């Protein structure tokens, strides 16, 4: 199939899925059927979505013994009618599938009415044409190892900067789209600074970059940002979502835990640019390495970040199974991009993961000497197995841990007790319904787990993941880095590369990136490749034509503007106002939060009944260090779509709600930032214009346009008058926040400038990567 066709198909399927989610299907604009129909691209999405529930991989729920997810199943004679075949290649009319999906008799029609599923006319046509063309089955694209991809030829040869651009441009051209111009330098700098460090560029960096006219100016800035200590913090945010990191145990009593040294390790690992193979191996199996490695053992905390109950009276085994389940599901989603959880209670309905496969994977994580119920309330913050962070370690191998007191510090880590227990398939997933005994293995449809090559433990599992022929590991990670930078992955469903997931919008690019990344697993190199591409550097302008042809920007013919993630909104305010405490790591902190949220919800047990706010410098730490109590997560973070860290999350939604507006309008954190920046500027010997322009540049990181300038200056004059006439209001307004106030400053001047700055903080562009 030509790439053009593929491109068209992927766009079509993307649109299709979007509308289908809502039960509405728009056939308009889909046009003619493609000349050649491809199983993976055109047919499987339909069969999977509409047929596999009853005629798919789940052997126990298979109706009439018929399966349509394999060639053998579909071509075979029907169990109850030996002369009839579900699919007769080349002959739709003789194929029972076609007869049944077009049946006029409602009792014969497939899918049956009770399923609430329905095929559209177009879907029926696709199946018909595919059968007529020979009904060729293909292995699911994601289970076929990535193939080397030559750079495609493009018309606009001068545009590509690196390999990425050839693939992206090729598809744009096939759609009649042209790339946007490069973004203006100031916006590009702000964008890349947020993507690489999570912070706005300082005035100094802005000036340096703007005045550097050399060809390498941008590459130099990228290198500089990649070596910043804040790079690790930025990229860690996503990994903490994946690893469901939190500072409390979850469930109803929700006591304190001390996993933050593990979080410090993640930041350290990214800053040191540990290659992904090491990053992955240490977290999965750092305790099983041939040489005792304290740092690698700490990294295994990844698998202990799940919730743990402290509820009196729970059944121990029920919860222990829950934790192993969580690890298994997290493993599946984080490293394989598969919905393993769907195979716990029964065979997977769509993907070739049987229930036995599920529990064979489960077996890798089932050897931990642990309890289902946490020892005693807060007697220890780290239930065994755990490791003690000793002073000796802190001075040496674990010097990146930012420990601040002399208290004992324990972190939960992984450990295997060989022979501790056998793992069983659990019927319907119930902890007490033990069936067949299973041993460590992985679904063979993904890649066989060859026990002569791989040890049957987590170390073997890591090696399996990192085999050069593994179809998923590299693709899944590359896709998520892409997603974190562009907002949407090449596979939009970053957590589902299975049958029901979206197809890649740029399949060759994904393969190219995956194979390239696999060469050295160098994460910084991957990130740099992406942010230096011409694709990334495009402006965010949305023309009517592009909005019409490609509303979701699947084709990347522009930069997709996107709202900053929750943590970065906070960071942006702190950094631009000068309040930011740029310390890295350490115990999580408790900044301002409305009163009473924890006490209204507490069970009355444990150390976290009341929110005891921090003071001083701890109020100005980055968002990544805000304390996460799982049952009452930081409200501002949730409002801006942060994860509650209940379970592994590989993609945050980006929503826009009135509650978000209320936060930026009224949250003391933001108001305090405006106040402190206003005070700093009022105390400089500059005129009003310069003060406003400086504030704007610190926050929006560019010079205001004439119109903006006029609006802001006019507003400042109004406000100066207003607060002059209402001194009490001025004093009240500037009283916000604990940061010491400059007493000698004129309250009117501060209040007026503060409100102008606060208005700038509320601008759409301010909280957006533009």
Partner 1 sequence: MDKEFLENRFNINRRHFLGKAALGLGSAALGSLLVPDMFSGTSSQAEKLQAGIRHFAPKAKRIIMLVQNGAPSQLESFDYKPLLHKMHGQDLPESVRDGQRLTGMTSGQSKFPLVGSKFAFRQYGQSGTWVSELFPNIAKITDDICVIKSMHTEAINHDPALTFIQTGAQQGNRPSMGAWMSYGLGSENQNLPAFCVLLSRGKGNGQGVYSKLWSNGFLESIHQGVQFSASEDPILYLNNPDGIDMKNRRKMLDHLEALNAQGYEEFGDPEIHAKIKQYEMAYRMQTAVPEVTDLSKEPDHIIKMYGADCLTPGTYASNCLLARKLSESGVRFVQLYHQGWDQHNNLVGEMPQQAKDVDRASAALVQDLKQRGLLDETLIIWGGEFGRTNYCQGKLTDGNYGRDHHPRCYSIWMAGGGVKGGITHGETDEFGYNIVKDPVHVHDLQATILHLMGLDHEKLTYKYLGRRFRLTDVHGHVVNDIIA
Footprint of partner 1 on 716-735 (CB under 8 A): 718, 722, 728-735
Of 459 and 563, nearer to partner 1 (C-beta) is 563
DSSP string over 103-166: -SSTTT-SS-GGGT----HHHHHHHHHHHHTT------GGGSPP---PPPP-S-TTS-SSHHHH
Contact present, 162 and 509 (Cβ < 8 Å): no
Q: By CB under 8 A, what part of segment 123-182 binds partner 1?
A: none
Report how far residue 16's alpha carbon sits from residue 14's, in angstroms, rounded to the nearest whole number: 5
Least separation in angstroms between CB 462 and partner 1:
24
Q: How many other CB atoms sit within 10 Å of the CB of residue 106? A: 8
Residue 715 engages partner 1 in binding (rule: CB under 8 A):
yes
Contact 554, 492 (CB under 8 A): no
Residue among 596, 683, 689, 721 that touches partner 1 (CB under 8 A): 596
DSSP designation for 744 = T
Interface with partner 1 (CB under 8 A), residue from 662, 684, 690, 725: 662
- How crowded is the C-beta side of 73, counted as CA atoms within 13 Å? 18
Give CA–CA dist 365/450, Å, rounded. Answer: 18
Establish if 762 lies at the interface with partner 1 (CB under 8 A): yes
| Residues binding partner 1: number (CB under 8 A) | 108
For 90, the token pair is 């080349």
For residue 459, the minimal CB distance to partner 1 (Å) is: 29
DSSP code, position 589 = B
Among 125, 656, 683, 746, binds partner 1 (CB under 8 A): 656
- What is the contact mask toward partner 1 in residues 365 to 404, using x (rule: CB under 8 A)? --------x-------------------------------
β-sheet bridge partners, residue 248 = 256
Helices and strands (DSSP H and E) totals, the chain? 32, 6
What secondary structure letter does DSSP report for 613? -
> DSSP assignment, residue 740?
P
Residue number with CB closer to partner 1 (87 or 186) = 186
Least distance in angstroms from the C-beta of 654 to partner 1: 8
Say whether residue 676 binds partner 1 (CB under 8 A): no
- Residue 639 interacts with partner 1 (CB under 8 A): yes or no: yes
Helix or strand run (H / E) with residue 423: strand 423-426
Q: Which of residues 522-561 bind partner 1 (CB under 8 A)?
A: 540-544, 547, 552, 561
- Which residue in the set 283, 300, 305, 309 belongs to the binding site for partner 1 (CB under 8 A)? 309
Q: Does 473 bind partner 1 (CB under 8 A)?
A: no
Which range binds partner 1 by CB under 8 A, 64-72, 275-283, 438-446, 750-758? 750-758
Interhelix angle 203-210/185-197, rounded to 10 degrees, is 130
Residue in 124, 83, 81 with CA at minimum distance from that of residue 103: 124
311 scored as a contact of partner 1 (CB under 8 A): yes
Q: Which is nearer to partner 1, 340 or 620 (CB)?
A: 340
Minimum CB–partner distance for residue 666 and partner 1 (Å): 4
End-to-end CA distance of the chain: 36
Stretch that binds partner 1, among 3-11, 410-418, 638-646, 682-690 (CB under 8 A): 638-646
Which listed residue (203, 710, 725, 746) binds partner 1 by CB under 8 A? Answer: 710
601 binds partner 1 (CB under 8 A): yes
Interaction of residue 770 with partner 1, rule CB under 8 A: yes
By CB under 8 A, residue 689 contacts partner 1? no
Task: Output the CA torsion 403→409→413→415 (10° steps).
Answer: 140
Q: Is 349 in the site for partner 1 (CB under 8 A)?
A: yes
User: Measured from the CB atom, is 232 or 633 closer to partner 1?
Assistant: 633
Chain-centroid distance of CA 145 in Å reads: 23
Q: How would you write 401-436 as a 3-class SS string? A: CCCCCCCCCEEECCCCCCCCCCEEEEHHHCCCCEEE
Which letter does DSSP use for residue 333 in this model? I
Q: Is 350 in the site for partner 1 (CB under 8 A)?
A: yes
Q: Of the two residues 399 and 656, which places its CB atom closer to partner 1 in the complex?
A: 656
Site for partner 1 in 14-33 (CB under 8 A): 18-23
What is the DSSP code string of 263-302? HHHHHHHHHTT--HHHHHHHHHHGGGSSS--HHHHHHGGG
Q: How far is the CB of 86 from partner 1 (least distance, A)?
A: 23
Site for partner 1 contains 315 (CB under 8 A): yes
* Residue 116 lies near partner 1 (rule: CB under 8 A): yes
Binds partner 1 (CB under 8 A): choice among 632, 695, 753, 757? 632
Q: Does 631 bind partner 1 (CB under 8 A)?
A: yes
Calpha distance 382→388 (Å, rounded): 10
Smallest gap, in angstroms, from Cβ of residue 247 to partner 1? Answer: 15
């Amino acid at each position: 199939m030509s790439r053009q066709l593929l491109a068209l198909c992927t766009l079509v399927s993307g649109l299709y899925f979007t509308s289908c989610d809502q039960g509405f299907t728009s056939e308009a604009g889909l046009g003619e059927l493609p000349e050649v129909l491809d199983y993976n691209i055109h047919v499987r999405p339909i069969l999977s979505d509409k047929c596999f529930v009853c005629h798919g991989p789940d052997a126990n729920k298979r109706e009439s013994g018929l399966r349509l997810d394999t060639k053998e199943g579909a071509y075979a004679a029907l169990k109850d009618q030996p002369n009839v075949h579900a699919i007769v290649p080349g002959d739709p009319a003789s194929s029972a599938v076609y007869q049944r999906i077009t049946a006029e008799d409602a009792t014969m029609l497939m899918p049956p009415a009770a399923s609430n599923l329905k095929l559209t006319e177009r879907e029926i046509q696709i199946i018909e044409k595919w059968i007529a063309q020979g009904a060729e089955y293909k292995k699911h694209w994601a289970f076929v190892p990535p193939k080397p991809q030559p750079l495609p030829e493009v018309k606009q040869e001068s545009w590509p900067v690196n390999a990425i651009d050839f693939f992206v441009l090729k598809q744009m051209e096939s759609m009649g789209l042209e790339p946007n111009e490069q973004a203006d330098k100031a916006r590009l700098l702000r964008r890349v600074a947020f993507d690489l460090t999570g912070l706005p560029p300082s005035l100094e960096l802005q000036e340096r970059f703007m005045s550097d006219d050399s060809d390498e100016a941008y590459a130099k800035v990228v290198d500089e940002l990649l070596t910043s200590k804040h790079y690790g913090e930025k990229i860690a945010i996503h990994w903490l979502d994946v690893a469901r990191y939190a500072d409390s145990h979850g469930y109803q009593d929700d006591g304190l835990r001390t996993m933050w040294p593990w979080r410090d390790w993640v930041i350290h690992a990214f800053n040191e640019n540990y290659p992904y193979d090491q990053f992955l191996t240490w977290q999965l199996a750092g305790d099983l390495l041939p040489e005792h490695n304290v740092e690698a053992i700490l990294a295994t905390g990844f698998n202990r970040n799940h919730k743990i109950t402290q509820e009196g009276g729970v059944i121990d085994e029920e919860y222990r199974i829950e934790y192993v389940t969580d690890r298994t599901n997290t493993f599946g989603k984080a490293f394989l991009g598969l919905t393993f959880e769907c195979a716990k209670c029964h065979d997977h309905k769509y993907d070739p993961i049987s229930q036995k496969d599920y529990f064979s994977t489960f077996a890798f994580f089932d050897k931990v000497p642990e309890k289902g119920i946490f020892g005693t309330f807060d007697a220890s913050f780290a239930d065994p197995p755990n490791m003690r962070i000793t002073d000796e370690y802190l001075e040496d191998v674990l010097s990146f841990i930012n420990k601040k007191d002399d208290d004992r510090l324990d972190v939960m880590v992984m450990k295997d007790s060989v022979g501790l227990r056998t793992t069983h398939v659990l019927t319907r997933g119930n902890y007490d319904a033990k069936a067949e005994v299973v041993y460590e293995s992985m679904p063979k449809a993904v890649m066989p787990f060859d026990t002569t090559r791989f040890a049957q433990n987590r170390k073997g599992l890591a090696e399996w993941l990192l085999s050069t022929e593994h179809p998923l590991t590299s693709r899944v990670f590359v896709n998520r880095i892409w997603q974190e930078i562009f907002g949407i992955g090449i596979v939009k469903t970053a957590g589902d590369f299975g049958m029901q997931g979206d197809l890649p919008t740029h399949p060759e690019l994904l393969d190219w990136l995956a194979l390239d990344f696999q060469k050295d697993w160098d994460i910084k190199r991957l990130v740099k490749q992406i942010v230096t591409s011409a694709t990334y550097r495009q402006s965010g302008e949305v023309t009517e034509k592009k909005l019409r042809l490609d509303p979701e920007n699947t084709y990347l013919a522009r930069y997709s503007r996107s709202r900053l993630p929750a943590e970065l909104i906070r960071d942006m305010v702190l950094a631009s106002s000068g309040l930011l405490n740029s310390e890295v790591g350490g115990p999580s902190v408790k900044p301002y939060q409305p009163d009473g949220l924890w006490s209204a919800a507490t069970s009355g047990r444990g150390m976290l009944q009341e929110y005891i706010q921090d003071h001083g410098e701890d109020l100005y730490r980055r968002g990544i260090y805000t304390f996460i109590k799982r049952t009452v997560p930081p409200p501002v973070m949730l409002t801006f779509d942060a994860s509650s860290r209940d379970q592994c999350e590989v993609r945050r939604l980006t929503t826009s709600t009135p509650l978000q507006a209320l936060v930026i309008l009224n949250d003391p954190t933001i108001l305090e930032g405006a106040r402190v920046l206003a005070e700093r500027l009022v105390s400089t010997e500059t005129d009003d214009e310069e003060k406003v322009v400086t504030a704007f540049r610190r926050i929006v990181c560019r010079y205001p346009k004439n119109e903006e300038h006029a609006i802001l200056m006019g507003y400042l004059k109004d406000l100066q008058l207003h607060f002059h006439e209402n001194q009490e209001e001025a004093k009240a307004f500037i009283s916000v926040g604990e940061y010491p106030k400059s007493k000698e400053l004129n309250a009117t001047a501060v209040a007026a400038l503060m409100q102008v700055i606060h208005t700038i903080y509320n601008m759409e562009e301010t909280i957006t990567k533009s």
